[in-house]
Amino acid sequence: RICVITLAEAHPLLQSGKTIKNINYQISANCSRLQNKVSGKSKRGAQFLTELAPLCRISSSDGEEYTIYSCIRGRLIEVNENILSNPALLQEKPSTEGYIAVVLPKFEESKSVTQGLLTQKEYEEVLLKRRSSAS
């Protein structure tokens, strides 16, 4: 029931051949996702996230900045610090070593969260529709 947050394969950072300059987990002056300290079975100390909570900001070499949001309510279990020193992991291995964060939804909400997700086939159909309407 954990959720691994990654970049979607249709994200502009993965599509346009951009180079990632840096990744910043500092959300505001008082909030850094790197300060998340989780302990124990009940994940005490974990930052609570809403669907619209920013996880990080990614800057590309062309000056664009992308804010990556949680998209799910739950506790922030961990952020991937490996992408700070090796941002290329986001592009080279986005669904494995290049993940952004791990979020644990509330137990009672986890079923409704997973039921709202698209299958791989449904996601590909949405992308096809998006591409055909853009052209």
Ranges in the chain, pLDDT < 70: 135
Q: Which pLDDT belongs to residue 49?
A: 92
Q: Which pLDDT belongs to residue 80?
A: 93
Q: Which pLDDT belongs to residue 56?
A: 94
CATH number for position 114:
2.40.50.100
Q: What gap in Å lies between CA 82 and CA 84, rounded to an integer? A: 5
Cβ–Cβ < 8 Å for 2, 99: no
Residue in this structure with the two tokens 């930052």, named with its chain if needed: 47
Q: What is the count of structural domains for the chain? A: 1
Q: Which residues pair with 60 in a beta bridge?
A: 20
Cβ–Cβ < 8 Å for 5, 100: yes
Q: Which pLDDT belongs to residue 111?
A: 78
Domain carrying residue 8: 3-134
Q: Which pLDDT belongs to residue 83?
A: 93
pTM metric for this prediction: 0.84
Residue 37 phi/psi, 5-degree rounding, is: -120, 110
Largest CA distance in the chain: 51
